[in-house]
Amino acid sequence: MSIEIDKYRIKARLRKGKSEIKKNVQSFFGWIKGAELIELKECDISKDPVRPELDNDFRTSYGRKIYGVKYKDEIHAVMCFAFTNKIPKTVKELDLLSKDAFLQSAQRSQKIGKIAIAYTVWSTKKGGGKLIVKEVFKVIKKSNHLNRLVTLSPLTEMARNFHLRNGAEELQVNETTQNFEYKIIK
C-beta atoms surrounding 71 within 10 Å: 19
136, pLDDT greater than 60: yes
In our burial notation (b when 16+ CB lie closer than 10 A, e otherwise), range 113-152 reads bbbbbbbbbbbebebbbbbbbebbbebbeebeebebbbbb
* Pairing status of strand 74-84 against strand 65-71: antiparallel
For position 91, what pLDDT does the model report?
97
Say which amino acid occupies 151. T
Say which amino acid occupies 155. L
28, pLDDT greater than 70: no
What average pLDDT does this structure show over 63-72?
A: 94
Q: Average pLDDT, whole number, for the chain?
A: 86
First-to-last CA distance in the chain?
66
For position 21, what pLDDT does the model report?
55
For position 145, what pLDDT does the model report?
80
24, pLDDT greater than 80: no
